[in-house]
Every structure is written in C-alpha cells, then in structure tokens.
Amino acid sequence: MPTMAEELEKTLQLCNKCGLCLAGCPIYKVTGIEWTSARGRVALLRSVFLDERLKLTDLKDPIFNCLTCNGCTEHCPPGVQTGDIIFRARQELLKQKGDSWIQRLLFQKMLPNPERLHKASRLLRLADVTGLHTLARKTGLTRLAGDAGKAEAMVPRVPAGEGLEAIKRAVKKIDKPGYSAAYFLGCYAPNFAPERAAATIRVLNKNRVEVTVPDFACCGLPAAGYGDMESARDLARKNIAIASKLKADAIVTPCASCSSFLKDYIKLLADDAEWAEKAKEFTGKVKDISEFLVDIGLNTEMGELKRKVTFHDPCHLAHYQKIKDQPRTILKSIPGIEFVEMNEADMCCGAAGSYAFKNYDLSQKVLERKMGNVAKTGADTLVSSCPACIMQLACGAGQQKLPISVLEIVDLLDEAYQNARGKD
Ligand code: SF4
Ligand code: SF4
C-alpha cells in the first residue's frame, strides 16, 4: 500500500499548470493572487514534498486560507483534488507542530459528546440573555480575539428550551411506513435550530419515512478540517457502532457537510482491519435528504407557495457528492414556486465550516461576491442545504439589507405540506 507521502507525490504530479482551475476558485476570484489558486497552492506544495525547497511550516497561509471547496477540481482536466491535498498538508503540519489546547478540547472532548456540546450552547445562551454577549461586543472585547472575534457576530443566537428534547418529541409512529431512516442530527441542529430539525422529521414522515433520532456524535469533519484525522476516525468509529445497532434503511441528514463526510468514512477507515467493512456498510446507507427524497419518489401533495426562489449549492453537496439536480427537482416540484438559477450557484459562499474564524476578511469578500449574484436574481427566497451556508448567507443578506428569506429546503417542503393540509 502506498504511503501518504507517495500518494501525495502522485497527486501533486498530476497538475500540468494549465490554469483552468482559476475559473473555479472563489479565493483567487477575490484576490487575483496566483498562490491562492489551486495551481499556485499545488506548486508551493510541490516545492515542499517533491523538490524540498520549502518547509511546510512556511506555507501556513496557503494551507489554511484554502476553502477546501473543490471548486477548482470541477474545472481541472486531470482532476487534481486540491481540497484533498490541502487536508493532507494540514494533517502533516499538525504532525510537525502539534495541536493547540483549544483543538484538543473541541475535537477530543466536546464534539464526541453531544451532552457536553449542549451544555456549552446553554452557556452561550446565558451570555445572550444576561446581556454579557452584547456588552462584550459593544465594548469591543470580542474584537480582541481577532478574526474569531469578528466572525462571532455570524453565529446565530441559541434558542430557548431544550433543543434535543423538542426534536425527540417530534418523532412519531406513522401509519404504513414505506421506509425507515435514522436522522443524523449533527452538531448544529439540536443546539441552534431544533425547529428546523422538527420540520425535517415532519417532511420525512410526509414521505412515508419513519424516523428515529439516535445519539450520534459529530460527523468528524471539523476535526479533519484541522488535520486531526485521529479524532475524526474516533468519531467515525463511534457513529458506526451506534448505527450498527439500528435497523434503519438509510442514515439521512439535511446537512451537506455531514452527509459528505459520513460517506467518506469508507476512505477514512480503509486501513483499519476491524472497521473497514463496517464503514463500508455504514457509508452505503448515508443519504443527503434531497438525494433520499428523490430516490424514494417525492410526495408532491403540497399546497402552493408563492415565492421566487434561487438555490445556492453547498460545496459538500455539489462538488463532493455531485448532487446538483435533486435539490432543484424538489424546489421545482413545489406548486407556485418560480425557480430562478443564480450565476455561479455552485461557487463557495465563504462559510467552509469555521473558515471565517481564521480568515474573516477573505470569507467576507467571497460572501460579497455571492450576495451580488443572489441580488441579481431578484429572488425573494434563497435556499440552501447546509447549516454553515445558511448561517453565512443569512449574515450576507443582513449586511447587504437584501429583502430575502434564507431557508433550507426542508423549511419550504414543510411549509408546502402544511399548506396542503390547509387546502383539505
Ligand atoms: S479548494 Fe477551493 S479555495 Fe482551495 S484552491 Fe480549490 S477552488 Fe480555491
Ligand atoms: S486545472 Fe488542474 S492541472 Fe490545471 S493548473 Fe489547475 S490544478 Fe493544475
């Protein structure tokens, strides 16, 4: 089996320097700087791994200001996976430099434990309701934290109530189910958007899908994004062990980042003799919600929604999973919706997980470009299918004062199914 270095060498050698990737790189589009494009980043990494002229520690910016969106790969004739290469470079850098205590706390203590994460979100809520949060902002205290302090304003408020309990209350037995699904909640839904999670369950029920909500942990993508593959593997094993006790036909999530990374467990655990086969079985069941609903035959008994809608493709849906048609098929199936395609719909919005927390200004520039394209559509509703994109786009709409609702596909479906009931 080739070593990581050998594999990396092979991938880096694929680049023929044609430059076609420049057209698909959101960072290059806003900077115009060669080293921020895939061609530039690949050239720099060749200097480290092939020519040994540079040290990896010299390349922190090229390694960490890539969105790993894979927009470049869509344009690259030999199919260089720059996002993948960057992930590997981060992994190598972590080996050389070690991780910070914050990363250890987050990836090894918090994310594997939904209960701890929930307690942390309650603390955030406390800071909100006591006014501490507002005070920290007004006094400029948050700005002292640099990019993370600026990006903090993008994090939505934690709603009142016990999110996870509310979600579990939405789970019901349904008559004559056609399918069963284990809902992979992810970290965001129970802490920030329990109402949307309840809507997801209602939408699945309307499609004859009986839903369970197992206590899955984080998918592992945030840890992998920082190069901590060991934490990501531990989370993968934990989730696979939970799934192995279930009898669900599918593991479904409306979060494109989660579905994309869950499908990657097969690669992540390929060298683990004990888990490789189990990972294969697990991965075979993972479905993004739009993929799943179209596969099983979408229930189109819906009421009318008078909306002009455009869609932003999350990178983890369009570029990683190649799912582009299904969300559009669903949106166009809703009666009354006028669908309008946006220019550069599949170009990253600048969210990329926690990218803004380290690269706030670049993230904002990418977002401005995206919101310019949104505005040109004249849509009154912007839809996407990933919590990170929704958070970023909602922030962009607010900053530019666009009169537009920013929603997930499940929000619209839920509304359309509720309207159908009103019609009866
Ligand atoms: S992964 Fe995205 S940000 Fe990184 S080089 Fe490719 S297109 Fe640019
Ligand atoms: S398109 Fe692909 S092969 Fe061409 S320069 Fe970019 S990364 Fe290299």
For ligand 1, atom 6, the nearest C-alpha belongs to 72
Query: For a substitution probing ligand 1, which of 82, 86, 348, 362 has the most ligand atoms within 8 Å of its CB?
Result: 82
Q: Which ligand has the shortest distance to the CA of 82?
A: 1
CATH code where residue 30 lies: 1.10.1060.10
Q: Looking at residue 50, what is its pLDDT? A: 86
**HEC readout, 207-220:** CCEEEECCCCCCCC
Q: Are 407 and 416 contacting, i.e. CB atoms less than 8 angstroms apart?
A: no
Distance (Å, rounded) from C-alpha 345 to C-alpha 327?
12
The model's pTM is 0.90
Burial degree of 115 (CB within 10 A; 0-12, 13-18, 19+): exposed
Looking at the fold, whether 261 and 362 belong to one and the same domain comes out as no
Q: What's the CA gap between 321 and 96, in Å, rounded? A: 31
How many domains does the structure of the chain reveal?
Answer: 4
Please give the number of the atom of ligand 1 that sits closest to the Cα of 71: 7
CATH number, domain containing residue 188: 1.20.1050
**How many beta carbons lie within 10 A of that of residue 293, not counting itself?**
26
User: Does the CB atom of residue 38 touch ligand 1 within 6 A?
Assistant: yes
Do 355 and 387 fall into the same domain? yes
Q: Is residue 151 predicted with pLDDT exceeding 90?
A: no
Give the closest residue (by CA) to ligand 2 atom 4: 18
Task: Kindly state whether residues 366 and 256 are assigned to the same domain.
Answer: no
Same domain, 248 and 372: no
Between the two ends of the chain, the Cα-to-Cα distance in Å is 62
Instruction: Clarify whether residues 167 and 291 are in a common domain.
Output: yes
Let me know: does 286 contact 358? Beta carbons within 8 Å: no
Together in a domain, 191 and 273: yes
Cα separation, 298 vs 153, in Å, equals 37
Domain boundary among 80, 97, 114: 97
Last residue of a domain, one of 295, 325, 358: 295
Residues 287 and 303 in one domain: no
Q: Are residues 167 and 289 in the same domain?
A: yes
| Mean pLDDT, rounded, for 277-282 | 96
The whole-number pLDDT of residue 193 equals 82
Q: Are residues 283 and 321 in the same domain?
A: no
The range of the structural domain enclosing residue 169 comes to 163-295
**What is the CATH number for 399?**
3.40.50
Question: Looking at 100-114, 119-133, 353-367, which range is the least confident one?
Answer: 119-133
In this predicted structure, what is the pLDDT of residue 355? 84
Same domain, 289 and 174: yes
- Cα of 89 to ligand 2 centre, how many Å? 18
User: Which ligand lies nearest the alpha carbon of 83?
Assistant: 1
290 and 168 part of one domain? yes
Range with the lowest mean pLDDT among 87-96, 134-143, 233-242, 354-363? Answer: 134-143
| Rounded Cα–Cα distance for residues 93 and 187 (Å) | 26
Nearest CA to ligand 2 atom 8: 15
User: Among residues of the chain, what percentage have pLDDT more than 70?
Assistant: 85
Q: Are residues 263 and 144 in the same domain?
A: no
Residue 72 Cβ < 6 Å to ligand 1: yes
